[in-house]
Each structure stands twice: as C-alpha cells, then as structure tokens.
Structure 1
C-alpha cells in the first residue's frame, strides 16, 4: 500500500492538526511497512522521515511565527487568498496526478485536494457550523462552500470523536457507514512527574510544582477563556494567592478584548501568560499543575485535556462535548459559559486533597484507552479498506 498525505499543517507553529499529522507520520514511519509514503506540503513532496525531521527542527523556533501570523491574518481576511492558495497547491498535485494515482490520499485538514486515486479526509470538528461567531467570516464561508465537495468525493471520512461523527451525519446527511470515529492519543512524554523532575522547566517560567492552575490552548473566544478569567476572579483571595492562574497559548482570532483583559491582569501580577510554549516544555508544565481547567465551548476532541490527564492532573472541562466523551466520569464538568459553576468546581478541587487524588488516579487509568499507536492502527485499516 502507498500513502500520500498532506503535511502542510507541519509548518510552524504546529497546532492541533499538525500534532495529529506528525504523530500519525511517526507511527507509520517507525512501525508500518508501506510501499511508499509521500508527504505533500503545498509546494513540494518529501519522505515521511524528512517531513518529521524538518517539523521537529522547526518546532521550537520563534522566528517563523511572526511571518506565519502575518500570512494567517491575510488568509483569514480574504476568501480570494484562500482560493488562490488552494489553486496553486492543487495545480502542483495535478501535475503529479498520474504518478500518485495508485496512492491512498489522506487529507488531515478537512478539504480534499484534487487526486485521482482513493481518498480519506479527517474532519476534526464542525465548530464553524455550530459556532460561526467564533471564526472569521471568510473562513466560515470557505469551509461551508468546500466541505460538501470533500464529503462527496471522499471514499471514507474520519472524525476525532463520536460527537463530531454524529454531527457530520446529521448536518450533512453523510452515510453513517462512510464515517469512522478514531480517537487521538497523547505522546509518550506525557506522564506524571514529581517536583524534582519538573524543576528545571518550571523554574524558567517562575512556577512552583503543584501550586498553579493551568490552561493550555489558543487564546480566543471559543476556548472559554473569558469564563475562566471571570471564575478565577471570583475565587477567595487565599486560593488566588496560593494557586495563580497560568495561561499557555498564542493569541487567536477575535481576541482583542480578551487579550486586553489578560494584559491588565498580568500587569497587576494576578496571572501569568506564557504565550506560545515549546512542545518540549509542555509535559513538565502539565505535570506541575494542581488542576487543568479547559472550559472550551466546543472541541472536536480536546487534545490538551487528554495530555493533562495522562500527566495525572485533575481535569475540569465542559459537559456534553467531546471533552466529556474523552474524560468520561473521571473529571469534573461544567455547563458551557457557567463561570459561577466553574468557580465552585475549582474551589472543590483546591480545598479537597481526596478529590484531587481520586480524579488524578481515575484519569490516569482512563488515559490508557487512548494512544497514537491505536490511532495509527485504526487509520491504517481505513487506508487498506479504500485502497483495495
């Protein structure tokens, strides 16, 4: 079997789709005997091992970020830019179409490019349908116009959670036999660590092991950071002083008011904003937290929740979402946007050692149900089905 996979998402800074693509590639390159794996990055083709190496080399670099941010801002602001970019990338793939027609093409990022052979697309979430206000209007228009074509052209579709699978079937009337849920995994580096093991990383960030609340994710309205800030502000002073709030994440779309609020609180030393944190620092940052709080309104999976849970950290996340699908009963849940309920849950965890220990232990057991090895195995089975 031969695989053609789009690796545009491996360009820095790597976000959720890039993490998904990178970990699949690592599994395939190390553990599977594909006849060939060709990676298409939008402007060139390369091998899996080279794509992995280039990605990991570029990941910690902050230099490309400013350029990437400028490009992303332009793309978000113009649907013509979206179309021009896709036309260029499709034309390159078209030139190679005869060479790759016997390859199974996997598009990890929603929209299939032109390919004459069998194809599978991963649909990570449908938040642009359920919560269009949390996305740039041009992006909503682009996905709304292009996604139906991809759904029709794909031989199979993958979703990260059963919730997104149900939404895809209900909203787009996709044949349920054409859609498979394949849960994501957490990398093997996400494990519990003690204060000695986290010391070097936490010292650089001015943090103390077991003495902070943590949020990791893009700082934008969909992530519920405003709810988190409101709930944290209402905590009793002794808890706020003992457990400062730490936000680790780059600014996202539509977050000017949110960023202004964060800057004000940071200037008063009432929270720490670490901005974009290199991947190598995340395991220790998770493992050193007292509790991980993720009040996002919508997630296709909620990878930071699984990563934190794998580090043995108690979780508070949003009920009736894919995150509650991942955590099961082994986390505390709140209704979306309910800051008062979130304040109560944070107090409950911080003031009860037994609750923290119970959630930590149960979460570690639950996290064992998810792995990138399992994700790759189930994905490769789909390739085999449509390739034959």
Structure 2
C-alpha cells in the first residue's frame, strides 16, 4: 500500500499539532514497515529526530500557502503519486482528492467557541474543516468528547469517526539526572517549586483565570510555588500582562516563551503541579 501523509504541520517552532504529526508519522513508518509512506508538503519539513529511510518526502516545487496548496497542489501530488490513501492531520483535506482520505480533527472549538479564535481563522479555516468532516472517508479524533461534538454538529454516522487517544512521546519520562535538571532550571530561571502550564499563550487557553486562581492562593500563603507558563505567544496575548500586573504576584509568574522539545521532559519533571 502507498500511504500519503500530510507533512504541512512539520515546521520549525511547531507546537501541539506539529508534534502530534511528527510522532504519528514515526509510529506509522514503524507499524507499516511493508508499506510505502510518502510525506507531502507545501514546504520543506522539519522533524526533531530523523525520519526513517523508508519514508520519502515530496515537497511542492512551487511555494504556496498551506490552504491554497491543500486544494490545488495536494490533489495533483496525490494523483501523481497514485496513493492508495492519504491522511491529513490538521482538520483539512483536498476537496477534490483523487484518493480516499482520513482527516484528524482535534476538536470543534472553531465551531463551538469562535470568539476564542482570530477572525481570519474562523472565516477561512472553519468552512474547510466543515467540508473535510463531510468529505473525508474517515475521521480520527482524540477523545470521546470530541467525537460526540463532531457527530452532533455534522450529523454524521458515528462509525465514520474513530477515537484514537493521544499519548506522550517516547522521550517523555521522568528526568532524574541532577545536571540536566539544574541546566533547565537555570536556563529558564525556575524556582525550587513550580506550577507548570504548557501551550500557546492565547485566549482559548483561559490563562487569565489561571493567573487569578494562582494569585489568590499565593497571596493567601497557600501556594509558595512559581507559576511557569511555557509556550509561544499567540494572538491577543498582550492583555494577559494587565491581569498579571493586577495580580500583585508578578514576581512569582514566569513566561519562558517557546521551548525546544528536548527541554520539555525536564520541565515536566521539575514541576510539582501541572495545569491544563
């Protein structure tokens, strides 16, 4: 079988969906060792660890935005590849795909909570996700809750939607090496006791409420920890500074910005509390 795999999320400084795509690709290559796996993308792909030699990468010869490539470049690439099936990992598929498609839809927040997304994303991405849900031959999602939302909002046959739970990457294990823990602690200016958040800094992550809750416990003397927020700044993240300033515990809140993947296991290992 020749499997086409969407590599458009394999970009530098990737976050959740990018890492999901990368690890899924590595596992697919291992499980489908007797099949041919070809990564398709509108630009060069980047991965934390090298892809297996059995995985081929086919990059479009013309640079074009992801959404344009998805509807124009991807169908042509799939036709030329003569793939048996294609898996797209971030909520969109080519509407005119010449081969059967599988799409991963991670959640329905674009439809259910549009106010927590940039207007451009709502106007451009949401209709394409709607079409993907209706056109894809199979849908993968990450929880029973997300499946319920997808089936309800699109009136789909539940048998088309498959729940495949996400799991930690193999590199995520408790770090016990004192030198590595000290390196990461010093690099990011961490206190001895930390509360950890990991994710993009944006409205739908509800960080103002986290800051307010942390500040309340900190001022009451119930939480001597430092709040550490790990992740790149997204849209409308500037307003968070006002919340932190009003909290009166700004000295106990640390934003690291984007963190490379190799530092994440130590950050998790150092934390006493993880919030999501």
Distance in 1, Cα, partners of 2:82 & 2:97: 7
Match among 290, 311, 323 for residue 272 of structure 2: 290
Change beyond 3 A, Cα 1:3–1:245: same
Change beyond 3 A, Cα 1:268–1:124: closer
Distance in 2, Cα, partners of 1:186 & 1:37: 23
1:276 alignment partner in structure 2? 258
2:35 alignment partner in structure 1? 35
1:250 alignment partner in structure 2? 232
8 Å contact kept, 1:193–1:287: yes
Match among 173, 177, 182 for residue 155 of structure 2: 173
Change beyond 3 A, Cα 1:248–1:236: closer
Q: Which runs of 5+ in 1 are unaligned?
A: 45-50, 59-82, 295-388
Answer 1 or 2: higher relative contact order, Cα 8 Å, separation at least 6. Answer: 1
* SS of residue matched to 1:124: coil
Cα offset, 1:85, TM superposition: 4.8
TM-score (norm 1): 0.62
Cα offset, 1:190, TM superposition: 1.7
The structure with the greater share of residues assigned to strand is 2
The structure with the greater share of residues assigned to helix is 1
Distance in 2, Cα, partners of 1:180 & 1:12: 29
Question: After TM superposition, which residue ranges in structure 1, 4 or more long, deviate above 4 angstroms?
Answer: 262-268
8 Å contact kept, 2:181–2:270: yes
* SS of residue matched to 1:8: coil
Match among 145, 154, 171 for residue 163 of structure 1: 145
- 1:285-322 Cα offsets, whole Å, 9 max, x none, are 0111111122xxxxxxxxxxxxxxxxxxxxxxxxxxxx
2:181 alignment partner in structure 1? 198
Match among 95, 101, 106 for residue 87 of structure 2: 106
8 Å contact kept, 1:195–1:288: no
Distance in 2, Cα, partners of 1:265 & 1:234: 8
- 1:162-197 Cα offsets, whole Å, 9 max, x none, are 101000111110111111100011012222234725
Cα offset, 1:141, TM superposition: 2.0
